[in-house]
Copies of this chain bind each other. A is one copy, B any other.
Amino acid sequence: MTGANNSHQVNFGPPRNFGTVFKSKLKETFFPDDPFRQIKKEPFGRRSIKTIQYFVPIFEWLPKYNFGLFKYDLLAGSTIASLAIPQGISYANLAQLPPIIGLYSSFVPPLIYAIFGSSKNLAVGTVAACSLLIAETIGGVVSPEENQELYISLVYTATLFAGLLQFILGFLRLGILVDFLSHSTITGFMGGTALLIILQQMKGMLGMKHFTHKTGFVDVVRAIFHYRDEWTWQVLLIGLAFLVFLIITRYVKKKNPKLFWVSAIGPILVVIVGCIISYFFAEKLGLATVGNLRKGINALSIQRLNFDPALLSAPLKAGAITGMIALVEGIAIGRSFGIAKNEQVDGNKEMVAYGLMNILGSFTSCYLTTGPFSKTAVNVNSGCKSPMSNVVQSVCMLFVLLFLAPLFRYTPQVALSAIIISAMLGLIDYENAYHLFKTDKFDFLICMSAFFGVSFISMDMGLMISVGLALVRALLYIARPATCKLGNIPNTNLYRDMEQYPIAHGTPGILTLQLGSPIYFANADYMKERIMRWIREERDYINGDVEYVLLEMGGVSVIDITGVESLLELRRSLVSQGIKMKLINPRLEVMEKLVISKCIDTIGRENVFLSVDDAIVACRYSLESSKQDEESF
């Protein structure tokens, strides 16, 4: 028994040894989902099978696969393929690449994802934001018009780097890095990118021939008005008609989710109608088309990878940034659809799958792919049951590449622009931004800094400013942890924040403070000063003296050596003012540090209590007995 007689036993048990603690920390950091849980219990033979199944999920789901499931995947796969054609051509356009590369990118990567991916919902394809980022970064070094071969080589190289980065992050189980891109950053980044992309599409919508290669808001708006004598109203009219049609299909889907297929086949309809119009009237209307699309499947591109040191920095940068964004986008989307269906998505395994898909993609004339939101939503709505829908998508694309590709050469640019704009409108999530504004001003600031940074500075700077702000906030949380004064709620033994529960009242002479954060170098000095301030305020407030300071440490999950020293320094200055310090409920790791550093011996084991109530009872007891002593003199 410690402290007063009726208090409860505090466990000062011997600290766990370093190996145990280190192992458990490593596990929490890199394997928080305990992936090998099911494997450990099995005998050796089954264990190796399970391990292979763990790393290559197709071995897990394929043996149980049957025709009943395939019917669903066939429908879903062919629906996403019909979306893959217009999206592939459009986004390749955005990345300043020949349109056929967009089609290639929906053939090989989905096959690879079907083998290694762990999400049943994700549909693989190219994405708008990364396409624009690639154009911005690689296009800044090599002009896509003047030196197309070199430009394409560098895009493949960037894709390889993105894939390697994703694979390595997944292999090292550094999924933790992705956690530092917050929802607010993503919302702002996506919104800003969507705005830029929409502005870029004005070239196609207005039928312009000249345009800027820059992506910034100011440059693009200036270019639109600089070449205003090229505006063609016939093209604009066709574009607006397509756009209105697409917006209506999206609206139909929103009103009645069962009619999702209306919006899913909208884009391919626009492409087909566009092809027909341009086949007959291209010359007359002055319609620009995507042009030459060769028959045949992906050529090998491994020999085209370019590691020229003079140019390397551009693909490295493009690869690193797009790789990270693709990861965040894909994993977030996979997870959110997984949660809706109550399936778990393993972030690190997904990273490995994305990495392999982009590495092998860069060898086979594909550029960066991930799990885009629009395609995945269509996949889920069409009732996909397994990654087989991606295989179906691939087979459809194979058919298109082998037989139909040349037909799409008539696709007018204006149709693509309308498709891109309609997709982008859905990404400017002003409702979410308003929600952020209402609930959390700092999150709103993070979101807006990404939005305006992307629009007015550059995509990578905007992203970095926003991530930087989010990190600053995280560090501020660390450096300035909240403390509060606890009071007793009448007729209970509960002690709660007196600001939150005005009904709670304090005990004269005893100040109870709740500390609510790890205590370590970044906040140890602050904690000490804040506690001294609480004491001064308490003295001013009750106009009396403070004899005991009780520190409720249930919320302190860890303490480092600076924290321990600060605790001792705090105790010294309290002692010099005649105040006694008691600790309440130190948690496991904190207790270990206090015991190892011998801090607990200085503080005294009798000054550590299991609950606030125990400590208050003990303090009151000695306060009263000292008063009686005084009176008895």
List residues 494-528 of chain A with CB under 8 A from any CB of chain B: 494, 496-497, 499-501, 514, 516-518, 520-526
Measured CB to CB, the closest approach of chain B to A540, in angstroms, equals 8
**Does A565 sit at the interface, judged by CB under 8 A?**
yes
Q: Does A436 contact B (CB under 8 A)?
A: yes
A585 to B504, CA, bound (A): 14
Please name all residues of chain B whose beta carbon is closer than 8 Å to the beta carbon of A476 when the two chains form the complex: 29, 176
Known: A8-B489, A484-B588, A521-B183. A440 touches B561 (CB 8 A): yes
**A588: nearest chain-B partner, CB-CB:** B500
- The stretch among A98-106, A189-197, A568-576 that forms the contact with chain B is A568-576
Q: Are A474's CB and B481's CB within 8 A? A: no
With A11-B501, A342-B577, A494-B611 as known contacts, state yes or no: A557 contacts B555, CB within 8 Å.
Answer: yes
Contact of A484 among B344, B435, B562, B587 (CB under 8 A): B587
Total A residues in contact with B, Cβ cutoff 8 Å: 95
Indicate whether A32 sits within 8 Å of B533 (C-beta atoms), given known contacts A182-B521, A588-B499: yes
Within 8 A of B (CB), among A462-486: 470-471, 474-482, 484
Distance (whole angstroms) from the CB of A625 to the closest CB of chain B: 25
Complex Cα spacing A314 to B197, Å: 42
Task: Please report which residues of chain A, range 209-231, place their CB below 8 angstroms from some CB of chain B when the two chains form the complex.
Answer: none
Copies of this chain assembled into the complex: 2
B533 and A33 within 8 A (CB):
yes
Could you tell me if A521 and B8 are in contact, using CB atoms closer than 8 angstroms? no
Does A65 make an interface contact (CB < 8 A)? Answer: no
How many Å from the CB of A509 to the closest CB on chain B?
A: 20
* Contact for A557 among B335, B482, B596, CB less than 8 A: B482
CA–CA, A478 and B28, complex, Å: 12
Chain B residues with Cβ below 8 Å from A489 are 8, 610
Closest CB of chain B to A464's CB: distance in Å? 16
User: Is A606's CB within 8 Å of the partner chain B?
Assistant: no
Given A32-B530, A439-B596, A520-B477, the answer on whether A554 and B554 have CB atoms closer than 8 Å is yes
Do A179 and B522 touch across chains, with their CB atoms under 8 A apart? Answer: yes
Contact for A180 among B13, B522, B555, B585, CB less than 8 A: B522
Please, how many angstroms separate the alpha-carbon atoms of A569 and B337 in the complex?
11
* 23 A-B contacts (beta carbon < 8 Å): A13-B500, A28-B480, A29-B479, A33-B529, A37-B536, A179-B523, A179-B525, A180-B479, A180-B521, A183-B521, A183-B565, A184-B561, A342-B576, A344-B532, A435-B561, A443-B560, A470-B521, A470-B522, A481-B557, A484-B588, A497-B588, A500-B587, A554-B554
- Known: A342-B577, A482-B589; 19 extra A-B contacts, CB below 8 A, are A18-B441, A29-B480, A32-B480, A176-B476, A183-B521, A183-B562, A183-B565, A339-B569, A339-B572, A439-B596, A470-B521, A474-B478, A482-B587, A484-B587, A492-B611, A497-B587, A499-B588, A514-B554, A554-B554
